[in-house]
Amino acid sequence: MEVEGVGKEKKENAYLDALENAVRRAAGIRLLSVFQELRSGSAKEAITSRQSFMLGMSEGLVTEIDTLERAKLLPGELTNEEPVYRCRLRVTVRDRGEPDEFFQLNLVLQPERKTFRNGEEVELRLSATRDCFVTVYNLGADNQLYKVYPAAEDQVPLVADEVKTVTGLRIGLLEGMDQASESIIAVATKEPFDLLSGGGRQNVTLRFEGNVQGQIRHVGEFTKLGRGLARLSEDRWVLKSLGYSIIR
């Protein structure tokens, strides 16, 4: 497929936007639903989270990238004099199969609200329509991924239609924050699978005008989560996310 990307301020933003468009088209609406409730710190940090996850997914989806047009500064009259770059890529993606429409995951945060007070205690309720293994993460306001469940290293099976309640969880602000946005992310897989295995750093080489090269690096567990899911066929996993805000 041929994709186009645009980005402000930096040339690599246009490249990442094009790559994200390729991943979106390859994974379809299912992947986009991951981000419907996704929150992490500021709006800028939420965009960083999305790009990190997409970049991780691209490693498993994209098999070949050809640059049709390197990152190029658009004319000022088209961009209101802002530095906006555009690039075009030809991307080959692999077939990942079809999702299992009968494999559904339900995630409920109690109390069911979008805003919580600092220090408020909550509980999670998990259920799935198939036997599976569930791991729950918190995407914090610092854009870091924290494991919430299970506490042990070994994954715990969840029986189909069984409701698992996780108690003793507290919503809290990071030091120096008066308010924040975060997300709970639950991933279910049909077999035990270490979603965060593999390297924590991914380098992408970018080519600009005049064969000048640069690198952009995404470091973090959220990138590895995207990479882990990309290693599985579509029918082996399902993901659910809930976003919420924290105030004092």
Query: For position 117, which CATH number holds?
Result: 2.60.40.2950
Residue 235 in any domain: the answer is: no
**89 lies in the same domain as 164:** no
Pair (127, 173) in one structural domain: yes
pLDDT tens-place string over residues 172-197: 888 888 888 898 999 999 999 888 87
List, in sequence order, the alpha helices (H) in the chain.
11-27, 29-33, 43-61, 76-79, 221-230
Tens digits of residue pLDDT in 66-118: 888 888 888 877 777 788 899 998 888 877 778 898 999 999 999 999 999 99
CA-to-CA distance for 40 and 125, rounded, in angstroms?
22
Asked, for residue 198, whether it belongs to a domain, the answer is: no
SS3 label, residue 54: helix
CA angle, 108 then 112 then 113, to 5°: 130
Domain housing 161:
105-193+240-247
76, 119: one domain: no
Q: Looking at the 3D structure of the chain, how many domains does it have?
A: 2
183 in the same domain as 214: no
Residues 116 and 157 in one domain: yes
Matching residue, tokens 């600009």:
208
* DSSP track, 185-239: EEEEESS---TT-S-SEEEEEEE-GGG-EEEEEEESHHHHHHHHHHTS-GGGEEE
What residues form DSSP beta bridges with 88? 4, 69
